[in-house]
Structure formats: C-alpha cells, structure tokens
Amino acid sequence: MISPLMLRGLWAYRGFVLGSVKREFQSKYVNAMLGAVWSVLSPLAMILVYTVIFSEVMRAKLPGNDSGAAYSIYLCAGILTWGLFAEIVSRGQNMFLEQANLIKKISFPRICLPIIVVCNGLVNFGIIFGLFIVFLIASGNFPGMVFFAIIPVLALQILLAIGLGMVSGILNVFFRDVGQFVTIAMQFWFWLTPIVYPSSILPPEVRAVLVYNPMAAVVQAHQGILVEGRLPDWNALIPALLMALLLCILGLRLFRKRSGEMVDEL
C-alpha cells in the first residue's frame, strides 16, 4: 500500500509533521486566558454532563444491565469513538483544500497531510479519552486487562477513517460538492449507528442491516469492552477491515495518479 519511497519521505519530514501538529494544537488556545487547560475542561464537562444527566437525573438503564453508570459509559464510549472517526473524515475531506497554499509553494511529500490529520485527531482524542479512563477507574468501572483490546479496534477505526478521508479529500478537490455530501452523510451515519441507543432495542430486520454499517461493529466493540468488559467479536469486524483496506488502497492510487492534477486544480 505505502511504498518504501513514501515511508522514507515521511521519515525525512517527521519534523514537519510533528511541528504542524504542535502548531495546530497551540493555535486553538493562543488567545485564551486558560490556554490548553480548556482541552481538559471541555471533555471533562462533557463526561460529567452525560453521567449526571443520564445516570442521576434520567436514571437511564441499559437493557440487561442494572448498573446506574452503564448507560453513561455506553454513551461516552460511542460518542468518543465516533468523534475521532468523524474528526479524521471531516479534516481529511478538506486537508488538500485547507493546505492549498502550502502545497503550491513548498515541495514536500503530500502523504504527510493525512498523517498530520490523524495525529491531530489522536491528540484531541487522547486528552478526552484519558479523562474518560480516569473516570472509569475512579467509579470502579474499569474493565481490566480486556481494556487493551481497544488498541486493534482503534487502529481499525483510524484506518477506516483515513481511507474515507483520503478518497473524499481527493475527490473534493475536483468536485466541491463531495465535501457537502460527506458532511450530510456523516450526520445520517451517526444516527444509523447504535451510539445513543443499544442495538438490542431495534427490530430483528433492522439489526440484520447493521452488518452493512462498518462503524456499527467498531462502536459496538468499544462499548462491549468498556461497558461489559468483554472481548470484541473479531469476526464481526472483518467487513470493516476489508472496507478500510479497500478505501486506503483506493485513496493511495487516486493520490498517486492525481497528485499533479490536484496542484493545478488548487
């Protein structure tokens, strides 16, 4: 998929990648009095709101689970997972347009741009997910060693997101309607994925359709690990893996064939 030449280019420009990630993070809080403290306060507030509203006020329960915090953990696991996916896809579809001036003025491996998008997404996700882990430990709901099964699921999710982001990002350079379409499609996709509701409440015929939604299996894998402390159904993740690989291969092929035309179009 990625040639040795691309890997050498990425390694040679690793300083550029890390510098870009650092500058973007700093730029978010450059004029804020509390600075980067907001990167902790905002996700902390979200976790507290979900916990208080759904566990204490609404007394929301998961079917088959009597724990008061189960639904808030279920909700946080789904929303945080989707948030990373949506951020990478959203930034990916605009990465070439946003960096048009840089692409036209400076010679550097263009494959650096998807890597920067992923790294920025992981920085934001790492902060909020780290706080979520602290919450799980403090509330006595940490799943134990099963937690580390999240790593391959997270890697699959990132692969799927960057594959979709690259394909839509390249097409968006030539057809600007693509970006608008993906934005709307992501809104529908969110509600067609069992994030705020458990799939068990859906009719059998609707649950059968979820197999065609790759993010449904990914989100449910995260939720199963964090809520129930069980390993994912790895077989259920195979369609998502195949789609992720297909999108990444397609994205790289489009990138190699159209990189010169992209510069002219930008």
How does pLDDT run across 196-248, given as a tens digit for each residue? 888 888 888 888 888 889 999 999 999 999 988 999 999 999 999 999 999 99
Torsion of CA 127, 24, 121, 9, to 10 degrees: -130
Task: Return the minimum-mean-pLDDT range out of 49-53, 89-93, 134-138, 167-171.
Answer: 49-53
Nearest 10 degrees: Cα torsion 10, 13, 18, 21: -80
The whole-number pLDDT of residue 177 equals: 84
In the structure, what pLDDT confidence band is assigned to residue 152 with cuts at 50, 70 and 90? very high
Q: Does residue 20 surpass a pLDDT of 90?
A: no
Residue 189: partners with Cβ closer than 8 Å, 6 or more residues away = 213, 215
When mean pLDDT is compared across 57-66, 170-179, 232-241, the lowest value belongs to: 57-66
Residues 266 and 100 sit within 8 Å (Cβ to Cβ): yes
Does 33 score more than 60 pLDDT?
A: no
Res 175: pLDDT? 84
Helices (H) and strands (E) in the chain, counts: 11, 0
Question: Which residue bears the tokens 């600075």?
Answer: 35
pTM of this structure? 0.86
Please indicate whether residue 118 or residue 20 has the higher confidence score (pLDDT): 118
* Predicted pLDDT of residue 213: 92
For residues 82 and 84, what is the distance between their CA atoms, to the nearest angstrom? 5
For 196, the token pair is 């705020």
Lowest mean pLDDT segment, chosen from 100-109, 115-124, 246-255? 100-109
Q: Is the pLDDT of residue 29 over 80?
A: no
What are the sequence ranges of the domains in the chain?
4-265
DSSP3 helix / strand / coil % (the chain, rounded to 5): 80, 0, 20
pLDDT at 111: 76
The residues that bridge with 62 in the sheet, in sequence order, are: 65
CA angle 85, 87, 89 (to 5 degrees): 70
Angle formed by the axes of helices 214-223 and 238-265, nearest 10°: 120
Average pLDDT over residues 124-144: 87
Give tens-digit pLDDT for 3-17.
666 667 666 767 777
pLDDT of residue 217: 94
Which letter, b or e, does each residue of 30-55 get, where b requires 16 or more Cβ atoms within 10 Å of its Cβ?
Answer: eeeeeeeeebeeebbebbeebbeebb
pLDDT at 95 over 90: no
| Residues 178-189, mean pLDDT to the nearest whole number | 89
Q: Of 78-87, 88-97, 132-141, 253-262, where does mean pLDDT reach its minimum?
A: 253-262
For helices 14-28 and 38-50, the axis angle rounded to 10 degrees is 70
Is the confidence at residue 28, as pLDDT, over 70?
no
Cα–Cα dist 112/137, whole Å: 36
Are 79 and 215 in contact by the 8 Å Cβ rule? The answer is no
- Least confidently predicted of 58-67, 75-84, 115-124, 228-237: 58-67
Given a contact cutoff of 8 angstroms between Cβ atoms, the answer to whether 88 and 158 are in contact is yes
H helix intervals, 58-143: 70-98, 100-105, 112-138
Per-residue pLDDT band for 141 (boundaries 50, 70, 90) equals: confident
Place of tokens 């930034």: 91
Highest mean pLDDT among 69-73, 107-111, 188-192: 188-192
Query: H-type helices in 107-213, by residue range?
Result: 112-138, 150-174, 177-191, 204-209
